[in-house]
Amino acid sequence: MPDFHRSIPEGDDKERLVCRDCGFIAYENPKLIVGSVVSEGERVLLCRRAINPRRGFWTLPAGFLEMAETAEEGARREAWEEAQARIAIEGLLAVFSIARIGQVQLIFRAGFAAPGFAAGPESEEVALFDWAEIPWAEIAFPSVHWALRAWRAAAGRPLGAPASNPPEDARGTVPLPQGSGL
């Protein structure tokens, strides 16, 4: 591995990872997660994770945006990869900042563009849940809760301004409780 240390490059004002051998600066910037709350009627699509972190827990189809993709394209790709679902995006439901791990999440509201879904390679299981059936104790990440709540709050209405972090974790810095569902 490269021999990185932290130092402030000339003309910068923040510590960066700089290789001691060659001077290469590995800029670390927050990464974008794109995903969707996909619904059919009253039911929402969730995926049980086949990979870590949070293997076995339920999440939305979502993942890292790749180069040369738009945010919407990335969300559609993730729905295909994780849930083998072809989705039709309606608009942006929520923007969450998870400063603790350097993430910003763009969560879209979507329906099915074609019938059918199935577990992709990163999912153990994919299913539609009525609101009352959602396995809240087995949800993978707090932001999945937030997104589902934002979806519920806007249900049946045109999308307004996107939701953002809830007041209890306004910066996405609250540590996850150990041993709990989260």
The footprint of a second copy (CB under 8 A) covers 1-2, 14, 19, 22-24, 26, 28-32, 64-73, 91-92, 95, 97, 99-100, 102, 104, 106, 158-162, 164-165, 170-172
Cβ proximity to a second copy, 39 vs 97, nearer residue: 97
Question: Whole-number minimum distance, CB 126 to a second copy, in Å?
Answer: 19
Question: Whole-number minimum distance, CB 156 to a second copy, in Å?
Answer: 15
Question: Whole-number minimum distance, CB 43 to a second copy, in Å?
Answer: 23
Neighbours of 178 (CB within 10 A): 6
Residue 92 CB partners (closer than 8 Å, separation 6+) = 106, 107, 108, 109, 159, 162
Cβ proximity to a second copy, 35 vs 172, nearer residue: 172
Tokens of 76: 């559609």
Question: Whole-number minimum distance, CB 91 to a second copy, in Å?
Answer: 5
Cβ proximity to a second copy, 64 vs 131, nearer residue: 64
C-alpha distances out from residue 127 to 16, 18, 83, 102, 120, Å: 42, 45, 9, 29, 12
Phi-psi domain of 93 (left: phi exceeds 0; alpha: psi -120 through 50; beta: other): alpha
Cβ proximity to a second copy, 66 vs 125, nearer residue: 66
Bridge partners for 98 per DSSP: 103
